Amino acid sequence: MQQDAEHSTQYGDQYIDGEWRPSLDAGSIPVLNPATEQVLATVPAGGTADVAAAVAAARRAARGWAATSREERLGPLTRLRDGLAGCQEEIAATVVAELGAPVGFATAVHAGLPVAVAGSYLALLADYPFEERIGNSVVLAEPAGVVAAITPWNYPLHQIVAKVVPALAAGCPVVLKPAEDTPLVARLFARLVDEAGFPAGVFNLVTGTGAAAGTALVGHPEVDVVSFTGSTAVGRTVAETAGRGIKRVALELGGKSANVVLPGADLARAVNVNIANVFANSGQTCSAWTRLLVHQDQYEEAVALAAKAAAKYVPGDPADPRTRIGPVVSARQRERVRGYITGALAEGARLVVGGADAPAGLETGFYVLPTILADVTNDMTVAQEEVFGPVLAVLAYRDEEHAAELANGTEYGLAGGVWAADTATAAAFARRLDTGQVDLNGGRFNPLAPFGGYKNSGLGRELGRHGLEEFLQHKSLQY
C-alpha cells in the first residue's frame, strides 16, 4: 500500500445494491499514509445522491432480509467471518498504511478483534430467543429496520464490524459511512461482504465526509436506526436530527477514563498496564485510561514508574515490527494533541516525559512524543477533555472518597480501571464509578460484555447480546 501521489489508486465507485458502481456525487477524498504523508488513494466523496441510492437499495432489501430464518442469515455471516479471518494480513497492512498503527498491534487487534466479534455474533444468532412468552403474550423480537452505521477512524474495522455484523444478524439492512481518514479498510470489508453472498441491498457502503454523506444519511426519512461512533460534539447533532425523525439512535462517544490505584494494589503492575493501555494505538482509543489516579503517599513513586515504562515507547515506522508506537492519524490530530500538551504546561502541569516537540529524526509523518504529565488537577483542561493522543495525566488523591470524586468528575463515563489488594475491594470501588466498563486488577477485554457509555459518553451498548438488541424492536401478540 506504499504509493506516492502519482501512483495512488483512484477509486471512483461505491458499493450499492450488491455491486460496485460509479459514485453519483462529485469530488474525491485523498487518503494519506500518516507515517509518510503521501497519498495512498482517493475515494469518492459521496453525498446526497449516493446516500439516496444506498438507502433506497437497503429499503428494497429490508422486508426480504427481515423474513430470513436465522439459518439463512448464518450462511453469509459465517462466510463473512471466514473472509475476515482469511484476510488478516491484508487488513493489518491496510490499517498500518491508512491509520499508522504499528503492524504488531494492527495484526493482533485491528485484524484479530473483528474476527472474534464476528464469531461471537454467529454463536449468539444460533440460539438467540427471537420469541418469548410473557403471560398471555408472545413477544417477537423483530429487526428494527434500515440502519445507518457511521464510524470513526481509530479502530476502523472493529467499529464497522461491531455495528454491521449485529445489524445483519438481527435482520436489518445497513448503509455504512466510514470515516474519511480510513475508508480503505471499509472498502476491503465491502469486498468481503460481496464475496460472502448477501442478497443485493442488504449491505451498502458510501464513502464521503461527515458534513455531506453523514448528514444526508442521518436525516434520510427511510433510515430507521442510526448507530454512530465518534465525538460527543457530532453525536449531539446526530441525536438531534435522529430525534426529529423519531429514529432509534445508539451513540458511542468519547471518554476521559480514570485508572484508580488503591493503596495495597500492585503499584508497578498497575502503572505498567496503564502505560501500555494509554499509548496503544498512539493513544487514539476512546476507552483509554488517560487519567492515572494514585494516593498522594505513592504519587512520586508512581510518576517515576510511569516514566520508566514510557521509555520503551519510541515513536517509529509503523511498518517495522519492532515499533510500539506509530504516528497519529492526521496533521489535524497531531496539532490537536500538541495543543493539549502545551495548554497543560501553561496551566501548571509538570512535564515528566515527552512534550509538544516533534520526535527527533521524525520530521515527516504525524508523530507525537508519548507524554506524561504530573501535578495535574481535575480542573485542568487536559483532565477534562479528550486528547486522543499518547498523553497520560497523573493525579493525586487524598482518600477513597476523593478518588471516586475525581474519577467521576468529568462529563464522560466510558471505561476505567481499579487496582486493589483483592478483587472484592476493587469491585466495591468500581460500583461507585459512573462508567460503562471497569477492568479490575487488569481484567481482560471481553468482546461479549456490553460496551458503551454513561453520561456524555453515549447511549446504548455495543458487543454481545446487548449489541444485537440495539437492532431489534418488539411486537407483542396476545392470545
Binding site for ligand NAD (CB under 6 A): 150-154, 177, 179-180, 209-211, 214-215, 218, 229-231, 234, 237-238, 252-255, 286, 386, 388, 414, 453, 458
* Closest C-alpha to 418, from 208, 239, 199, 263: 263
Q: Which residues of 144-154 are buried (b: 16+ CB within 10 A; e: fewer)?
A: bbbbbbbbbbb
DSSP string, 151-195: --SSSHHHHHHHHHHHHHHHT--EEEE--TT-HHHHHHHHHHHHH
Nearer of residues 378 and 437 to ligand NAD, judged by Cβ: 437
Q: How far is the CB of 85 from ligand NAD (least distance, A)?
A: 23
Q: How far is the CB of 281 from ligand NAD (least distance, A)?
A: 10
**Grid cell digits, residue 430:** 468500581
Q: How far is the CB of 449 from ligand NAD (least distance, A)?
A: 13
Alpha carbon 237 to its chain's center: 19
Nearer of residues 18 and 219 to ligand NAD, judged by Cβ: 219
Q: What whole-number distance in Å separates Cα of residue 165 and Cα of residue 114?
A: 10
**Grid cell digits, residue 325:** 508506537
Q: How far is the CB of 436 from ligand NAD (least distance, A)?
A: 9
Residue 252 is among the residues annotated as catalytic for this protein: yes
Residue 172 is among the residues annotated as catalytic for this protein: no
Nearer of residues 83 and 254 to ligand NAD, judged by Cβ: 254
Nearer of residues 76 and 166 to ligand NAD, judged by Cβ: 166
Q: What whole-number distance in Å separates Cα of residue 250 and Cα of residue 334?
A: 29
Q: What whole-number distance in Å separates Cα of residue 427 and Cα of residue 438?
A: 9
**Grid cell digits, residue 339:** 495543543
Nearer of residues 107 and 207 to ligand NAD, judged by Cβ: 207
Q: How far is the CB of 208 from ligand NAD (least distance, A)?
A: 8
Nearer of residues 194 and 252 to ligand NAD, judged by Cβ: 252
Cβ-proximal residue to ligand NAD, closest one? 210
> Looking at 180, 252, 386, 462, which residue is catalytic?
252
User: Sign of the C-alpha dihedral, residues 329, 333, 335, 340?
Assistant: negative
Nearer of residues 288 and 369 to ligand NAD, judged by Cβ: 288
Q: How far is the CB of 243 from ligand NAD (least distance, A)?
A: 14
At which residue does the C-alpha cell 475508508 appear? 183
Q: How far is the CB of 18 from ligand NAD (least distance, A)?
A: 23
Q: Are 435 and 416 in contact (CB under 8 A)?
A: yes
> Looking at 87, 98, 286, 470, which residue is catalytic?
286
Alpha helices by DSSP H, listed for 128-155, are: none
Q: Are 389 and 290 in contact (CB under 8 A)?
A: no
* Closest C-alpha to 52, from 174, 217, 168: 217
φ and ψ of 274, to 5 deg: -60, -40
Residues with a catalytic annotation lie at 252, 286
